[in-house]
């Protein structure tokens, strides 16, 4: 049930977080329902020694995605220099390091000559990595927007996997020997059958036919700026059977879908579009009084930038940009899903809104979740701010760059001083969040000299908040 966030009582939340941090018996018992022995929150003290960017560089350095495979972390994005332990290393848009302290940087440096947006591994096999982005060469060899590279040594191009997409690749994921690629492309490795999102054979890179989605159209409404069809992001469920896909499209699999779609990867012979959607973003009920404000500012038609599954796959968390609805420019409380964190049930028949938490007109770009929290990254200044836009409204809580929210209510996780538990330097905005068994990893940038994570300096690009004992 929706309630304006500025009216939420916070005292109970403070108590909950204090108890969780203390590892109370009651909290431990509650966590048993989720199959986790002890509910834990990521700590507020960043781990020392993780690789970072210099705070000041000629161009903005940014990590676009962090992925763990085995005992190694892989970072991709747009950067040229990484620092660690007082030493400086040249790394062109991809590097790796140990997932545990002292987080030693490896020699892996594929030498990609353009932006790398995404990295994936074939069903957890760590010998090779698939990378996608906007580039034309890897290690001096021609590879256009897509490649498979070895994770040994410096990272040589794997020649047996085809490596050509006619436009940028934005997202890669793996499902049972299939590499799921999404982006702006209409042709990939010789196939034009499945534009914007294609399933590739993990060994050859050839279209293997798992995805036949017929993605088409774009988001349209009065005054909307020019925008093109694309797939931007995706997240496979913990069950491994479902895939959330975000992008700019109007139909997927012959069904009306905007902003986000849920795929059933386990259906055969091809993946299918599930019934999970909502008029809060797909416009199927139109605008008020009978519908919802489902489109955002005219210059940001695609606004649901990231999603995350709860550990039990029962809830889906959404992170959005968009400022505010194009046809609701004035007045409070804010409406729609623009510039907000939100939670919906994962029901494939009638998903419902569980809660929404407005930043007050600042963008969110990433989200991750565990049993104890839902974590959102962006360049936001506030949380629980439905009655303010670029200023704190009544009840708003200062929560820059990174917010942790109660997964059941959406209320900000607070410390014993009743201030936000987490924060980070805003920069461009945290582009990726990753929960591992060890804690929360944050991928960010050094825009305008940003380098703090929970007020601790020297964490441009990467911050790691480990779970407590």
**CA 362/CA 377 separation, integer angstroms:** 11
Residue 141's DSSP bridge partners are 138
The pLDDT > 90 percentage for the chain reads: 89
Distance CA 32, CA 27 (A): 9
Q: What pLDDT shows up at residue 3?
A: 27
Determine the 3-state secondary structure of 69 from DSSP. strand
CA–CA separation, 99 and 88 (whole Å): 19
Rounded CA separation 187/110 (Å): 24
Query: What is 252-312 written as a DSSP string?
Result: ETTEE--EEEEEETTSSSS-EE-S---HHHH-TT-STTTS------TT----EEEEEE-TT
Confidence of residue 329 (pLDDT cuts 50, 70, 90): confident
Contact assessment for residue 128 and residue 122, using Cβ atoms and an 8 Å cutoff: yes
Q: How far is CA 46 from CA 230, 262, 452, 459, in A?
A: 35, 34, 10, 8
pLDDT, one tens digit per residue, over 222-273 is: 999 989 999 999 999 999 999 999 999 999 999 999 999 999 999 999 999 9
Whether the Cβ atoms of residue 294 and residue 317 lie closer than 8 Å to each other: no
Q: Which helix (H) or strand (E) holds 132?
A: strand 125-134
Is residue 440's pLDDT more than 50? yes
Judged against a pLDDT cut of 90, whether residue 163 lies above it is answered with yes
Compute the average pLDDT of residues 4-11.
30
Please give the average per-residue pLDDT across 101-120, as a whole number: 97
Between 14 and 436, whose confidence is greater? 436
Supply the pLDDT for residue 468. Answer: 87
User: Cα–Cα distance between 104 and 106 in angstroms, integer?
Assistant: 6
pLDDT at 34: 29
127-156 pLDDT per residue, tens: 999 999 999 999 999 999 999 999 999 999
Contact call for residues 397 and 383 (beta carbons, < 8 A)? yes
At 330 the pLDDT is 81
Render pLDDT for 416-429 as a digit per residue (tens, 0 to 9): 999 999 999 999 99
Task: Return d(Cα 307, Cα 17) in angstroms, integer.
Answer: 24
Mean pLDDT, rounded, for 292-296: 97
pLDDT of 298 > 70? The answer is: yes
pTM: 0.92
* CB atoms inside a 10 Å sphere around CB 391: 12
More confident residue, 126 or 28: 126
Query: What's the rounded Cα separation, in Å, for the pair 359 and 154?
Result: 42
Q: What are φ and ψ of residue 142, in 5° steps?
A: -65, 125
Residue 180 CB contacts under 8 Å (≥ 6 apart), including other chains: 171, 172, 173, 174, 197, 198, 199, 200, 210, 211, 234, 243
Looking at the chain, the number of H-run helices and the number of E-run strands are 3, 31
Q: What pLDDT does residue 344 have? A: 98
Angle, CA of 164, 166 and 169, to the nearest 5°: 75
Task: Report how far apart, in Å, the C-alpha atoms of 324 and of each of 165, 307, 334, 425 are.
Answer: 34, 19, 7, 24
What pLDDT, in 10s, does the model give residues 334-386?
A: 999 999 999 999 999 989 999 999 999 999 999 999 999 999 999 999 999 99
Tell which wins on pLDDT, 9 or 374. 374
Mean pLDDT, the chain, as a whole number? Answer: 92
CA–chain centroid gap for 318, Å, is 9
Q: How many residues does the chain have?
A: 469
Whether the pLDDT of residue 38 is over 90: the answer is: no
pLDDT at 206: 98
Higher-confidence residue: 268 or 189? 189
- Per-residue model confidence as pLDDT tens digits over 64-91: 999 999 999 999 999 999 999 899 999 9
**C-alpha distance from residue 455 to each of 24, 42, 377, 449 (Å):** 27, 15, 15, 14
Distance of CA 151 to the CA centre of its chain: 24
Residue 39: the pLDDT is 67
CA distance 174 to 177: 7
């Amino acid at each position: 049930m929706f309630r304006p966030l500025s009216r939420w009582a916070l005292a109970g939340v403070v108590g909950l977080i204090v108890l969780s941090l203390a590892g109370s018996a009651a909290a431990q018992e509650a966590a048993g329902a989720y199959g986790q022995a002890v509910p834990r929150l990521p700590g507020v003290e960043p781990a020392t020694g993780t690789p970072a960017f210099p705070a000041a560089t000629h161009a903005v350095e940014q990590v676009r995605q962090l992925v763990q495979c085995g005992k190694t972390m892989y970072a991709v994005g747009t950067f040229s220099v990484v620092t660690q332990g007082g030493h400086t290393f040249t790394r062109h848009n991809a590097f790796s390091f140990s997932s545990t302290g002292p987080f030693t940087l490896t020699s892996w440096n594929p030498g990609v000559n353009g932006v790398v947006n995404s990295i994936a591994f074939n069903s957890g096999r760590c010998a090779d990595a698939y990378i996608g982005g906007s580039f034309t060469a890897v290690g001096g060899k021609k590879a256009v927007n897509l490649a498979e590279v070895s994770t040994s040594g410096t990272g040589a191009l794997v020649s047996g996997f085809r490596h050509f997409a006619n436009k940028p690749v934005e997202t890669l994921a793996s499902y049972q020997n299939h590499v799921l690629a999404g982006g702006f492309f209409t042709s990939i490795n010789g196939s034009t059958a499945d534009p914007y999102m294609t399933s590739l054979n993990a060994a050859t890179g050839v279209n293997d036919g798992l995805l036949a989605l017929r993605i088409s159209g774009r988001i349209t409404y009065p005054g909307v700026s020019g925008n093109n069809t694309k797939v931007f992001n995706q997240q496979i469920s913990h069950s491994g059977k479902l895939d959330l896909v975000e992008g700019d499209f109007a139909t997927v699999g012959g069904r009306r879908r905007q902003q986000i779609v849920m795929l059933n990867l386990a259906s055969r012979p091809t993946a299918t579009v599930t019934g999970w959607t909502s008029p809060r973003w797909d416009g199927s009920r139109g605008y008020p009084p009978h519908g919802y404000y489902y489109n955002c500012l005219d210059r940001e038609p695609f606004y649901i930038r990231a999603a995350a599954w709860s550990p039990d796959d029962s809830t889906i968390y959404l992170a959005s940009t968009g400022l505010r609805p194009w046809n609701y420019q004035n007045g409070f409380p804010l409406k729609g899903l623009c510039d907000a964190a939100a939670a919906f049930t994962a029901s494939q028949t009638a998903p419902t809104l569980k809660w929404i938490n407005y930043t007050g007109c600042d963008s969110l770009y990433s989200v991750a979740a565990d049993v104890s929290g839902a974590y959102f990254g962006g360049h936001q200044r506030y949380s629980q701010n439905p009655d303010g836009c670029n200023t704190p409204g009544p009840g708003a809580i200062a929560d820059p760059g990174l917010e942790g929210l109660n997964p059941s209510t959406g209320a900000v996780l607070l410390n014993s001083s009743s201030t936000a538990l987490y924060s980070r330097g805003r920069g461009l905005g945290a582009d990726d969040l990753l929960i591992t068994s060890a804690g929360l990893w944050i991928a960010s940038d050094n825009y305008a000299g940003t380098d703090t994570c929970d007020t601790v300096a020297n964490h441009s690009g990467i911050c790691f908040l480990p779970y407590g004992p």
